[in-house]
Structures are given as C-alpha cells and as structure tokens.
Chain A
Amino acid sequence: MSAAAGDRPDVPLLELRGIGKDFGSVIALDDISTTVRAGQVTCVLGDNGAGKSTLIKVLSGVHRPTRGELLLDGQPVNFGAPREALDAGIATVFQDLAMIPLLAIWRNFFLGSEPTTGWGPFRRFDSAQAKEITRRELGAMGIDIRDPDQPVGTLSGGERQSVAIARAVHFGARVLILDEPTSALGVKQAGVVLRYIAQARDRGLGVVFITHNPHHAHPVGDRFLLLNRGRSMGDFAKGELSREELTAMMAGGDELTELAEELERPTGR
C-alpha cells in the first residue's frame, strides 16, 4: 500500500500538472500544480469561490479535468467516477456529506465496501466483523465510540469527521482528501480533527487538507497551495512561508490589514 511510494520518495504520491477545469464559458480552475507526498500534508487554501471545491472534485473523480495532468505514482491517471479514484487509493471526506446521519456508525463505516460472508444468494453483510473492525479502527485513531449501533447523527461534527478519516485510513487510502474538515467546528473540536490528520499523516498517508483557515493549515501542513479565483497564487514548502505570510496571502494582504484595524477595537481581541 503506502510502501510503494515510500520506496521511491522522489516520486510524489500524487502530482497535479497544470490542471484546469471549465464549466461552459466559466474557467473554474486554471493551471494548478502541486504535489502530495506520502507522510506529508498538502494544504489547499483559498477563500470562498477560489476553486477549492472544484479541485477536490477533480481529484476525487467527480469531474474530469479539462486541461492538465494528474499523476499517481508518476503515472498519468484519468478518473471517470468517484469509485475509480477510490479504487486507486484516493479517498475523499466531503465536508457535510461524509456520513448518512440516520445510519448506524458501523453501517456508515463500511458503506460502499461492506465485508460479506456466506455464498450465493445467502451472501450477507458480515455485521459482527463490521462492528468489531469499526470499534478497533476507531480505537486506533483514539476515538472511543460508545456504541457502534448508534446513528451517526448523534455524533458531534468533529467525531463524524474523525470517523470518516478512520474509515478512509482503514480502506487503504494512500491519499486522503479532506474538504474543510474543520470549518464548521469549534476550536477544541477542530483541534481534535487536526490531531487525526496528523495521525493519518504519521501512518504514511498523503493528505490533502482543504481549508480557508491558515491557523489550521500552518501547524499540520508540509506544502501550501494557495488558490484565488481559480488560479494558483503559489505552491510553497513549509519553510518558505510563515503563518503571518500565509494569512496575509490568503486574505489579500493589505485588505486584511485594513480589515484588522477596522475590527480590532470593537471585538477587543
């Protein structure tokens, strides 16, 4: 699994070369390039409408890129459906759509990849094994669920994201794409999710972390791709950019300084 890329650290797990995507006359993405390496976190930062969602959809096989190349282990790939990307080891955790709220945790965990037992018409979903694996895998990520039978809807947002990450890791994802996993969470819960991102990274996965929050991106990121209006504002390694620079670039520098001055006094922070 992740060993293949680990043997050749010079070849990135996933590489984007000049990726572009048009919707009719709208250029949603143009000339995006970056790399995702095993055991590293590549952060994709951008404000609303920067093209982050389109980029995820290209990576996860929902959209085909109009231009450019996607390379997996140095080989060009072309995904026609989310299933194909998944089979190639690219798992995506979508922001609000990671889980079915009314479905039990263990059912959600194995959704789309259910283990079966028995033969012929009596082939069935191996629920005992599924529950056991769910409990174990979540435990390995440090998530102690109370009851795998409870509906996912009863979990908090952070827990749900974490279950989705654990699921992707279990199913042999080599590249994990996280769509704004922290955006709707409180500070503590966001911290919990960031810890799971670091854990996934430490287990040798290449992580693509999409966010608009430089404070979440900077501590875990190894690479930063900044997007603005569908174009790349640069692709930086960790050492090349301080958190302040990152924040400034994200918000468009001067604009942010102005905004900060404007807002500083009333909030008192």
Chain B
Amino acid sequence: MSTTQEASAGRRARADERVAAVGLWRRLLVKPELGSLIGAVVILAFFSLQSDVFRSLGGVANWLDVASTLGIMAVAVALLMIGGHFDLSAGVMTGTTALTVGIVAVRLDQNIWVAIAAALVLALAVGFLNGWLVTRTGLPSFIITLGTFLMLQGLNLGLTKLFTGTVIVRGIADAPGYHSAELLLASTISVFGQPFRVAIVWWLLATAVASWVLLKTRFGNWVFATGGDEVASRNVGVPAQRTTIVLFMTTAGAAWLVGSISAVRLTSVQANAGTGQELIYIVAAVIGGCLLTGGFGSAIGAALGALVFGMTQQGIVYLNWDADWFYFFLGAMLLLAVLTNRLVRRYAEAARR
C-alpha cells in the first residue's frame, strides 16, 4: 500500500482531495451498457450508409425481428451471468419448449394454450433443476447445464421421433385456440404502414422488466451481490441459493416465451431447434457489458448486444457479403467487448488490497 494512499486516508474525514480522480470518463466507464451502445450506433451508421434496404422501414422491421427473440434470451442470460452463472441449456430449451407446444397441441390434441402452459411448467421445472443442482453441488454451472443441454438435446430428438415418427412437428396452426395465441405471440403491428413483429414488443417488455428488477428491486441487488461474491452476500443475509434458482428459472422462462413464439409463428418445429444458440446469447450479454465472472452487467446492454447481432446478421445479407464474415465480425465484437469489460473490472477493483 502506497504512502500517499495512507496519508490521504488519514485526512479523509476532512478533505476530499481525491474527488478529481473520479472524472467523467471513469464514471461512464462503469456504466456496463456504454460499450454496446457505442457498438450499436457504429454498426447502425455503417450499414445504413452502405445499404438503403437496411435503413428502409422494411429493413428495420427485419433486423429488429432477428434481434427480438435473441434479445429476450440475451436479457435473461445477462441476469443469470450477473448472478454469476451460465446456462448452456438455454438454447436447446427454446427447442424443447417449442416441441412441447407442438407435441401437446398436435399429438395429444390439446388446446394450444394448454400446450403452452405445459411447456411453461416443463421449462420452469428444468430451470429449477439446473439451479438446484448448481446451488446444491457447488459445481460450475457450466458443467451442470452442459449436462442438461445434452440431455434435452437427446430428449428433443428421441421424443419427437417417438411422437411423430419424424424429426419435425407439424400442424400447430390447426390446434384449437391457435388464433388467440397467434395474435399474442406471432402477429404483426403496423407502424407507418410497415408491419413489425409483435415479438419486438415482448423483447422491449422483457428488457424493461429485467432492467427494472435488476436496478430497482431487492432481488436485483441480490443478483449483483450473489454474482459479485456469493459467500459475502450469504454472510449479510442474502438468500443466495434462492436467487440463483430463480435466475435459472427466469432463463428457462424466457426460453419458454421464445419457444412458444417460434412454435406459433412457424407452426412447425424441427427437433434440433435452438441448439447452438446458447453461445450467441452469452456473446450478446458479454457485448452488453456482462462480466464473465459475474456481479456486473446490464439488461439494457444485453438487449443492445442482441441488436448488434440482428443488425450485423441482416446487414451482411443486404450487402450481399458472404455469410462467413458474420462470424468473423461476431468474434471481433466479442473480443473487443471482453477487453473493454476487463478494463472496467480493473478500475472497479483498483483499490483492492
């Protein structure tokens, strides 16, 4: 510990000679969503200048649509990451819930709402199991959810084949109650004569609710604390285990929403739906400022991360570039984000002994 630090600590009660050190730059730096906001603006400007389809209303509706379902998941995954955990089963879970909706509605001849409710119960049960196993065993969530990921992947294929004889569930549009479900999950809203997918509204809603919960409620404080230092938060009375389990159930719940949206919109579900998406959710959350080590991040940042994804994916298509560039671009964004986040952490822990 330096002598200047000690000297200033002694005088701390009176003079605030270190105020100047906390400048505007550092204040901004500790806002987790800053990086993703800059990234989103840069990418928006870049593709808008290059492609008029991209900046047309139709183009906007298109890339917002891509960003929306991704964003719902990214926001939930961000909460979980802030809480200090990963969920590798999040991607395949969107497939599991979509398949459940399809199989219960088509093969078991139920009302679509019954099917959607069944999928919710299943999702929350798996989420609970993930959280319970992680808190009980103390094993890394990476390993636990890798296990559930593979199990669900197998179940998705096995059960779909068992129920349909193929690897696809079709005919969801014929289920009773379909039209009300379509209205809520898969309709479009017309803005300036351009139809926008209703999923965009769900995405904005999910971001708003997640951000509010994170920043304005007790639970949000517990999420930050559990991810920041689980032992310390338990010591001051934070129900860390309950917080973790609720977060896993939230991710599963988001997967249920996304699964239901895709089942109702596409009216058919592939048995391998959603697989591989889990890493994209994590990348979006990291671009949004979430630290891989937990305890820091933002729901709005994750939503912006998803927006970056949506814009890049569609922008590359509009520019007629090879789709391979998308992954190069993604990797570069991820690296940039991780390096920025590292700076933030170093700053925030600067005075640690």
Q: How far is the CB of A193 from chain B (nearest CB, A)?
A: 10
Binary flags per residue of B4-31, CB closer than 8 Å to A gives 1, else 0: 0111011011101011001000000010
Of listed B7, B231, B234, residue having the most chain A CB within 10 A: B234
Q: How far is the CB of A140 from chain B (nearest CB, A)?
A: 12
Q: How far is the CB of A233 from chain B (nearest CB, A)?
A: 28
Q: Which residue of A lies closest to B291 (CB)?
A: A102
Instruction: Tell me the A96-131 residues at the B interface (CB within 8 Å).
Output: 97-103, 107, 110-114, 116, 123-125, 127
In the docked arrangement, what's the CA distance between A156 and B229, Å?
18
**A188 and B353 form a contact (CB under 8 A):** no
Binary flags per residue of B219-258, CB closer than 8 Å to A gives 1, else 0: 0111011001101111111100000000000000000000
Q: How far is the CB of B290 from chain A (nearest CB, A)?
A: 12
Of listed A83, A94, A110, A151, residue having the most chain B CB within 10 A: A151
Within 8 Å by CB of A111, from B14, B216, B238, B353, lies B238
**B1 and A146 form a contact (CB under 8 A):** no
Known A-B contacts A114-B221, A124-B216, A146-B18; A155 and B228 likewise in contact (beta carbons under 8 Å): no
Residues of chain B lying within 8 A (CB to CB) of residue A123:
217
**Which secondary structure dominates where chain A touches chain B?**
loop
Q: How far is the CB of B236 from chain A (nearest CB, A)?
A: 4
Q: How far is the CB of A86 from chain B (nearest CB, A)?
A: 5
Q: How far is the CB of B282 from chain A (nearest CB, A)?
A: 19
**B229 and A100 form a contact (CB under 8 A):** yes
Selected interface stretch from B167-175, B270-278, B342-350: B342-350
Q: Residues of A within 8 Å of B, CB-based: how many?
A: 47
In the docked arrangement, what's the CA distance between A98 and B234, Å?
11
In the docked arrangement, what's the CA distance between A155 and B8, Å?
12
**B225 and A111 form a contact (CB under 8 A):** yes
Q: Does B136 contact A (CB under 8 A)?
A: no
**B1 and A101 form a contact (CB under 8 A):** no
In the docked arrangement, what's the CA distance between A80 and B10, Å?
40
Known A-B contacts A111-B236, A112-B237, A113-B237; A101 and B348 likewise in contact (beta carbons under 8 Å): yes
Q: How far is the CB of B29 from chain A (nearest CB, A)?
A: 11
In the docked arrangement, what's the CA distance between A142 and B7, Å?
16
In the docked arrangement, what's the CA distance between A123 and B5, Å?
41
In the docked arrangement, what's the CA distance between A159 and B6, Å?
11
In the docked arrangement, what's the CA distance between A189 and B218, Å?
32
**B217 and A82 form a contact (CB under 8 A):** no
Q: Does A192 contact B (CB under 8 A)?
A: yes
Q: How far is the CB of B264 from chain A (nearest CB, A)?
A: 26
Q: How far is the CB of A108 from chain B (nearest CB, A)?
A: 8
Within 8 Å by CB of B22, from A62, A116, A125, A150, lies A150
Q: Which residue of A lies closest to B15 (CB)?
A: A144
Q: Does A153 contact B (CB under 8 A)?
A: yes
Residues of chain A lying within 8 A (CB to CB) of residue B301:
none
Q: How far is the CB of A94 from chain B (nearest CB, A)?
A: 6
Q: Does A31 contact B (CB under 8 A)?
A: no
Of listed A60, A102, A158, A184, residue having the most chain B CB within 10 A: A102
Residues of chain A lying within 8 A (CB to CB) of residue B18:
146
Known A-B contacts A125-B218, A127-B216; A111 and B233 likewise in contact (beta carbons under 8 Å): yes
Of listed B5, B224, B235, residue having the most chain A CB within 10 A: B235
Q: Which residue of B lies closest to A114 (CB)?
A: B218
**B217 and A101 form a contact (CB under 8 A):** no
**A156 and B351 form a contact (CB under 8 A):** yes
In the docked arrangement, what's the CA distance between A150 and B21, Å?
12
Instruction: Tell me the A147-174 residues at the B interface (CB within 8 Å).
Output: 147, 150-151, 153-159
Of listed B6, B296, B350, residue having the most chain A CB within 10 A: B6
Q: Does A143 contact B (CB under 8 A)?
A: yes
Q: Does B83 contact A (CB under 8 A)?
A: no
Q: Which residue of B lies closest to A150 (CB)?
A: B22
**A107 and B1 form a contact (CB under 8 A):** no
Known A-B contacts A144-B13, A192-B9; A154 and B237 likewise in contact (beta carbons under 8 Å): no
Q: Does B59 contact A (CB under 8 A)?
A: no
**A143 and B220 form a contact (CB under 8 A):** no
Q: Does A187 contact B (CB under 8 A)?
A: yes
Residues of chain A lying within 8 A (CB to CB) of residue B30:
150-151
Residues of chain A lying within 8 A (CB to CB) of residue B351:
153-157
**A98 and B9 form a contact (CB under 8 A):** no
Q: Does A234 contact B (CB under 8 A)?
A: no
Within 8 Å by CB of A186, from B1, B218, B231, lies B1
Q: Which 10 A-B pairs rank lowest in CB-CB distance, beginning with the nearest? A: A112-B237, A100-B228, A97-B232, A112-B236, A153-B349, A114-B218, A151-B348, A124-B216, A188-B6, A188-B10
Contacts A/B (CB < 8 Å), 19 sampled: A94-B232, A100-B233, A100-B295, A101-B228, A101-B229, A113-B237, A114-B218, A116-B218, A143-B12, A143-B13, A146-B19, A153-B352, A154-B350, A155-B351, A156-B9, A157-B351, A159-B12, A186-B5, A187-B6
Which residues of A are at the interface with B, using a C-beta cutoff of 8 A? 60, 62, 82-83, 86, 92, 94, 97-103, 107, 110-114, 116, 123-125, 127, 142-144, 146-147, 150-151, 153-159, 184-189, 191-192
Given contacts A86-B236, A107-B224, 10 further A-B contacts (CB under 8 A): A101-B229, A102-B224, A102-B349, A107-B225, A112-B222, A112-B237, A151-B349, A155-B351, A158-B9, A188-B9
